[in-house]
Amino acid sequence: MDTTTIDPKLLNDPAFQRVLADALAIQDRFAAEPVYAKTGKGFLKSAGVEELKQIKAAQEQAGK
């Protein structure tokens, strides 16, 4: 990612950092449809059961 196009104020914003981290975490799961490759349309591949269990466990830990 080219951070030179992002406003420096945003780079220091905690909310933006969380959103960016989430976006980068799922980036490898995005699969573009061949027909829509130029438009950026596609779908998000399933995270899988194990990853979902880990997310749920992390949320439960954070809630305690």
Q: Which residue has the tokens 């080219």?
A: 2
33: containing domain: 3-63
Section 5-27 average pLDDT? 87
Alpha carbons within 13 angstroms on the beta-carbon side of residue 5 total 2
Q: What is the mean pLDDT of the chain?
A: 80
Q: What are the tens digits of pLDDT across the range 37-60?
A: 666 677 778 778 888 888 899 989
The full DSSP string for 42-61 is: EEEPP--HHHHHHHHHHHHH
Domain count for the chain: 1
CA distances from 32 to 35, 36, 43, 64 (A): 8, 7, 6, 38
pLDDT score at 4: 65
pTM of the model: 0.50
